[in-house]
Amino acid sequence: MLDMSERTKQELFDIVVRGLAKQGWAKSLVGGRCVYNGPGDIHCAAGHILVEFGVEIPEGWNDASWVLLVNRKVVCDTHTNFIRDLQHMHDSLLGEPLERKFRNFAIERGFTWPLDEA
């Protein structure tokens, strides 16, 4: 089980933003549904966290909710609401571009923007 209890929200945010930026802010959609691991090595917000820590998603669970992964002991429940917030921004098809959503989220939460680091 992935234990993120010693990880900060900033660390997780950095992993997600760097991953999404690397894939050109593309969303990981298959058949109109968000998936953790999409075609062409594209991942959703939570998918980048899973990849970073080497977590393998059980067969058939690529589009399962984060809460299901917690309940099935694939990941711990630390930061669940925060990861769901990141995932919601990724999954939403409405509103501003994905990068802008994440930049505004960083400002609102007082996070540093990881792509501005040297």
Expressed as residue numbers, the domain containing 24 is 9-113
Q: 83 Cβ partners below 8 Å, 6+ apart?
A: 12, 45, 46, 49, 66
- Asked whether residue 76 is assigned to any structural domain, the reply reads yes
What confidence score (pLDDT) does residue 117 get? 60
**Mean pLDDT for the chain?**
91
Does 81 fall in a domain? Answer: yes
> Does a structural domain hold residue 82?
yes
Please give the average per-residue pLDDT across 7-34, as a whole number. Answer: 93
> Within 10 A of 9 (CB to CB), how many other CB atoms are there?
16
Instruction: Report how far residue 114's alpha carbon sits from residue 118's, in angstroms, rounded to the nearest whole number.
Output: 9
Query: Residue 3: is its pLDDT beyond 60?
Result: yes
What is the tens place of the pLDDT at every residue in 33-67? 889 998 888 999 999 999 999 998 888 889 888 88
Domain count, the chain: 1
Is 4 among the domain residues? no
